[in-house]
Structure 1
Amino acid sequence: MTNPVFSNSAVFGEKQNRDVQRTQSQMDPNFGRAQDMSTGAAAGMDAHQLESMYNAPAATTADTGRMTYDDVIMKTGLLLVLLVAAGAATWALAPQLYFVGAIVGLIFGLINSFKREPSPLLIVIYTLAQGVFLGGLSKMYESFYDGIVLQAVLATISVFAVSLFLFKSGKVRVTPKFTRMLLIGMGGYLLFSIVNLVLVWTGVLEGWGMRGGAMGIGIGLIAVGLAAMSLVMDFDAASVGVKNGIPKKYAWSAAFGLMVTLIWLYVELLRLIAILRGDD
């Protein structure tokens, strides 16, 4: 998987589809007991007890403590509110702290990505740090290009909506070929970004470096496309988790994974719009 949040998880992914029953049995001792109810229980229950059991309403995911789409939506919504609040406060009070937010966000992003068990506290800290980073960064871009932040936000929402629609409609499906294409694309983009950053920092290139002009626009569009593909992968991983009946605490992991991709997408769109509006 391209998103380390899901690729390093023991509960997300297609592998779990092959071992759902075994995994559920390990996570919930009552799972195996419920499977035997129709056989072993019949020997110790009278007709009235059996009738009551069969007439009882079916257990919901809330009753069994399993993750649902609502859990993922609620957690993601909460993190978005925290992100926007931290960003707005930084924008208004201390935009110069964006670099601190970037470093703290990177550290806690890596910690959360490689933790086997989700930690709501660490995920919230990551979100707040990224809010500080985005607030300061957005204020800086807005000072150069009036209205660019609103444009980037609307573009991010649009890309997210289109990606979700394509995934839900089945027009775009996560296949081994899709995964390989995304993995190769992101690997190449990461290498390009590192080389470009080093050349700019060392003074070999100026301004946007290789990300300026027509080439920069092309690279920006590729990056946005990769982020959109990553969103589809995130949707698929969350869907697999719900189908597998994993514990609801992993909704935090799914929400965190979506936040990582959304933040990346917003930054790429912000940079792309700036290139389009700039005088390179």
Structure 2
Amino acid sequence: MRSRNPVFSRRGFSRDHGYAGFNTAPQAGGPAVGTQGNPYAQGNPYAQPSGNPYAQNPYAQNPYAQQDLYYGAPPQAPASTGRMTMDDVVVRTASTLGVLVVAAALSWALLPVDDANIGRSYGLGIGAALIAMVLGFVQSFKRKASAPLILAYAAFEGVFLGVVSSVIDNRIASGAAMQAVLGTMAVFAAVLIAYKARWIRVNRRFYGFVMAASLGFVLLMMVNMLFAVFGGGDGLGFRSGALGVFFGIVGVVLGACFLALDFKQVEDGVAYGAPRQEAWLAAFGLTLTLVWIYLEFLRLIAILNQND
């Protein structure tokens, strides 16, 4: 499964679509082992000797043979047309987030959450969330990134965020939406600085830990939701009170870890010369992660104000 949702496995820029360098295996007909002195000399995954952009695999020898493969920055691919650049990622991420923010602002303004209309507005928000989820799954299973699909996901996700933010901001905690936005921006900046300074090392062990922790977190929240639906109240209490605060913090930390994985994916894609269309995939992943962090902050703020 190549989902970009934080609860599922991440698609990277490697030949077999596993996370870059972490899920590769020797390929039949690949370059022979024996190149000395340069672990990347055997080629990059986007070289096109036979018309196949994924014909070569730089990890075909042994992904563990060179430890600096994970700890150092990947080699820089020569600039050429049709290759992804950092500017491509920035522009497409800004476009995706821009659509999301505009949709959220419009739904906030046009879908009132007073006592007479909250049911209808919340229903539309949930409907938009379900559509966004379906679009996200469709993109996750597609072999190539689709810009219209990703932008449509952002629009429907924005409608849902606008309704939820308006409900919490107007009925539970005034100013909660802006606090959640500031918190998300702070986490993004902190992780980016830590990643660029190499305080965070995204290697196979880090990837495995994050995926295992996220799977456990999501399964636990699903069990809590089932208990809440069929048993009423707050379920097992994992989303309210002291436990709710604890798991909210865990959710933010997991989101920060996924940001580091996103930064690694972007770095590898630029370095190895990924096709320009893959910038949309990077934008999709960053948007999903930022939405995850924002919602966790929003939930934390709501819980803290309900406890006052």
Q: 2:109 aligns with which of 69, 92, 107?
A: 92
Q: Which residue does the alignment assign to 2:20?
A: 13
Tell me the alpha carbon deviations over residues 19-46 of structure 1, each in whole angstroms, 9 at most, x when there is no partner: 743641158689xxxxxxxxxxxxxxxx
What is the CA–CA distance in structure 1 between the aligned matches of 2:195 and 2:14, rounded to whole Å?
22
3-state DSSP of counterpart to 1:171? coil
State the match for 1:55 in structure 2. Answer: none
Do residues 68 (structure 1) and 91 (structure 2) align?
Answer: no
Q: How far does the alpha carbon of each residue in 1:76-102 deviate from its partner, in whole angstroms, 9 at most, with x for none?
A: 011111111000011111261211110
Tell me the residue number matched to 1:52: none
Q: Where in structure 2 are there 5+ consecutive unaligned residues? A: 26-38, 54-76, 113-120
Q: Flag the structure with larger Rg.
A: 1
**Residue aligned with 2:44, SS:** helix
Q: Is the 8 A contact 1:20 1:244 kept in 2?
A: no
Match of 2:62 in 1: none
Relative distance call for 1:209 and 1:82 in structure 2 (3 A) is same
How far, CA to CA, are the matches of 2:10 and 2:138 in structure 1? 10
Provide the identity percentage: 37
Matched, 1:252 2:259: no
Structure 1: which amino acid aligns with 2:241?
G
How far did residue 194 of structure 1 move?
Answer: 0.3
- Render the CA deviation track for 1:198-244: whole Å, top value 9, x for unaligned: 11111343388322111111111111100100000010011111111
Deviations 1:149-189 (A, max 9, x none): 00000000000110111111100011222112111110110
Distance 1:208 1:128 in 2: 33
Shift of 1:253: 0.4
Deviation at 1:251, TM superposition (A): 0.3
For residue 248 of structure 1, give the secondary structure of its aligned residue in structure 2.
coil
Residues 108-119 of structure 1: pairs in structure 2 closer than 5 A: 108-119=135-146
Deviation at 1:132, TM superposition (A): 0.5
Q: Distance in 1 between matches of 2:307 and 2:236?
A: 11
Q: Which residue of 2 aligns with 1:40?
A: none
CA root-mean-square deviation: 2.7
What stretches of structure 1 of length at least 5 have no aligned partner?
Answer: 31-58
Q: Which moved more, 1:196-205 or 1:236-245?
A: 196-205
- Distance in 2 separating the partners of 1:7 and 1:22: 11
Which residue number in structure 1 is paired with residue 237 of structure 2?
A: 209
Q: Which amino acid aligns with 1:201?
A: V
TM-score by length of 2: 0.75
* Rounded Cα–Cα distance in structure 2 between residues aligned with 1:228 and 1:215: 20
Q: Counterparts of 2:101 and 2:240 in 1: how far apart (Å)?
A: 29
- Cα gap change, 1:6 to 1:20, in 2 (>3 Å): farther
Partner of 1:193: 221
Q: Which residue in 2 is equivalent to 1:136?
A: 163
Q: Which residue of 2 aligns with 1:46?
A: none
1:120 maps to which of 147, 151, 162: 147
Shifted more, 205-214 versus 121-130: the winner is 205-214
CA offset at residue 195 of structure 1?
0.5
User: Could you tell me which residue of structure 2 aligns to residue 227 of structure 1?
Assistant: 255
CA distance in 1, matches of 2:189, 2:99: 21
Structure number with higher relative contact order (C-alpha < 8 Å, ≥ 6 residues apart): 1
- Equivalent residue, structure 1, for 2:266: 238
2:28 match: none
1:275 counterpart = 2:298: no
Distance 1:195 1:222 in 2: 17
Q: Is the 8 A contact 1:200 1:206 kept in 2?
A: yes
